[in-house]
Amino acid sequence: MPIKKTILKNGLRILTVPIKNAKSVTVLILVGTGSKYETKDINGMSHFLEHMFFKGTKKRPNTLKISETLDMIGGQYNAFTSKEVTGFWAKVDKKHTDVALDWIADMFLNSKFEAEEIEKEKGVVIEELNMYLDMPSSYVSELFEDLLYKDQPAGWRIVGEKEHITAFNRQKMLDYYQTHYSTQNTVVCVAGDVTSKQIEGKIHAYFAKTKNTVLPQKLATKELQSKPEVLIHHKKTDQTHFCLGVRAYDMFASQKYALSLLAIILGGNMSSRLFISVRERNSLAYYIHTSVDATTDTGYLVTQAGIKNESLEKAVSLILKEYQDLKHKKITPRELKKAKDYLRGSMSLSLDSSDAQASFFATQEVMEGKTMTPEEKLKMIDKVSVSDIKKVAEDIFKNEKLNLSVIGPIEESEKIKLEQLLKL
């Protein structure tokens, strides 16, 4: 059955994603705001506010009452913040759909944001930040974006910095909530064995009085780079972690389909070029993978690995060699077919649940203003040719687009040597 989109008079968009015979129902609220919409003094506010939605409403006055509502029926729930989207979701047995709707609407619309709870939560969020800083495999990705975008919203941490987090107060939080949360940038998505007739009236009853306010525009991201760049974070680790990648395309670029296939060929699975080269033939890494990140105004391709501390230069050289080969030589038709078949299969598996379906459609609606079905996306993938892959490789694999972030026992004095290594 096709998904249905309904727009209430106040501008709120409702997506119904019918999944015949599904045992679960997921209710997802997505808001088009995140760290890219912040100013420096409130960097981290989107993420902090996400935490505060779980602190109590008039109906459910504290965290215990919020959480036990769904715990008592075996439901799953959480929230997340990214650069451009903040989301809240609940997944329940379909017989508890009304409970999930009431729970998420109450939390989203009626949270108290009490000053005392804000002060307490600062400690929690700072410990979350400390946790990420202690995880090199996670932190090195943040350093890569820091290297790409520097001191602008796209380069700031989603969780924020300690000095900003400690300065948050209730008024700043309310100001952000009132200016960045509107029906204009909000989508409510329900996925499962439901119909629009069953749930639209209920969502309307909760959200009909929500205001459609004018939203602030996020600053456009500036991408300025004329030569390869390196960022080293010295840390005593048993393994060196690094991200090596290039600037690429935003989510609206037609080349994104060829780029996704190119990433699979490079490092998308255990038979990819880099997995075989870096791990199997040279035994330098346990994990290595290549992925693509694309938002409304930024995009990049990146290869990440954790390697022996003394093998950084060798690993980087092996990756650059594969980048060069893609730039100068066409892939084989067999490689292209394998990548397409892998993408088709992995997409099918990844959408095998109500929460995945909700995320798939709602994210498109919030960020692009429209939705494509998996079949429509796969048709675009099928159109990609061997020549398309080579054109993308020629376009992105250039010296002036190369960036390398590193965490490990690497001295800053090695930066020049690494910069000189970054050549294609």
CA distance 54 to 323: 45
| Confidence (pLDDT) at 40 | 96
Structure tokens at 172: 């700043």
Structure tokens at 109: 């619309």
Burial label, 401 (beta-carbon count in 10 A; 0-12, 13-18, 19+)? buried
Architecture of the structural domain at 4-207: 2-Layer Sandwich (3.30)
CA distance 329 to 311: 27
Residues with Cβ < 8 Å from 394, sequence gap 6 or more? 327
**For helices 256-267 and 374-382, angle between their N-to-C axes, nearest 10 degrees:** 80
Structure confidence by residue, pLDDT tens digits, 154-191: 999 999 999 999 999 999 999 999 999 999 999 999 99
| Confidence (pLDDT) at 380 | 98
| Confidence (pLDDT) at 78 | 98
In this predicted structure, the answer to whether residue 211 has a pLDDT above a threshold of 90 is no
The alpha-carbon radius of gyration of the chain (Å, integer) is 23
- The stretch 247-263 carries a mean pLDDT of 98
Picking from 128, 144, 135, the residue whose alpha carbon sits closest to that of residue 293 is 144
Structure confidence by residue, pLDDT tens digits, 3-26: 999 999 999 999 999 999 999 999
Q: What share of the chain is helix, strand, coil (3-state, %, to 5)?
A: 50, 20, 30
CB 393 within 8 A of CB 249: no
At which residue do the structure tokens 């109450």 appear? 106
Picking from 215, 12, 214, 4, the residue whose alpha carbon sits closest to that of residue 109 is 12
What is the amino acid identity at position 173?
M
Q: For the chain, give the mean pLDDT.
A: 97
Question: DSSP 3-state assignment of 370?
Answer: coil
Structure tokens at 217: 């525009």
CB 320 within 8 A of CB 258: no
- The stretch 394-422 carries a mean pLDDT of 97
Task: Tell me the C-alpha to C-alpha distance, in Å, between residue 141 and each of 101, 255, 310, 353, 369.
Answer: 35, 23, 21, 28, 28
| Confidence (pLDDT) at 118 | 98
CB 206 within 8 A of CB 109: yes
Q: What is the DSSP string of 283-329?
A: --EEEEEEEEEE-SS-EEEEEEEEE-GGGHHHHHHHHHHHHHHHHHS
Structure confidence by residue, pLDDT tens digits, 332-371: 999 999 999 999 999 999 999 999 999 999 999 999 999 9
If phi > 0 it is left, if psi is from -120 to 50 it is alpha, else beta; for residue 44 that is left
| Confidence (pLDDT) at 422 | 98
Please state the separation of Cα 33 from the chain's center in Å. 13
End-to-end Cα, the chain, rounded Å: 48
In this predicted structure, the answer to whether residue 140 has a pLDDT above a threshold of 90 is yes
In this predicted structure, the answer to whether residue 147 has a pLDDT above a threshold of 90 is yes
Would the CATH topology of 4-207 be identical to that of 229-421? Answer: yes
What is the amino acid identity at position 309?
N
Structure tokens at 39: 């100013």
CA distance 221 to 236: 33
CA distance 400 to 414: 20
Burial 148-161 (b: 16+ CB within 10 A, else e): bbeebbbbbbbbbe
- The stretch 190-215 carries a mean pLDDT of 94
Homologous superfamily (CATH) of 229-421 is: Metalloenzyme, LuxS/M16 peptidase-like (3.30.830.10)
Picking from 115, 106, 108, the residue whose alpha carbon sits closest to that of residue 79 is 108
Length of the chain equals 424
CB 368 within 8 A of CB 251: yes
Q: State which H helix or E strand residue 142 sits in.
A: helix 136-149
In this predicted structure, the answer to whether residue 1 has a pLDDT above a threshold of 80 is no
- The stretch 291-318 carries a mean pLDDT of 97
Q: Where are the domains of the chain?
A: 4-207, 229-421
Please state the separation of Cα 356 from the chain's center in Å. 14
Mind telling me the catalytic residues?
A: 50
- The stretch 292-314 carries a mean pLDDT of 97
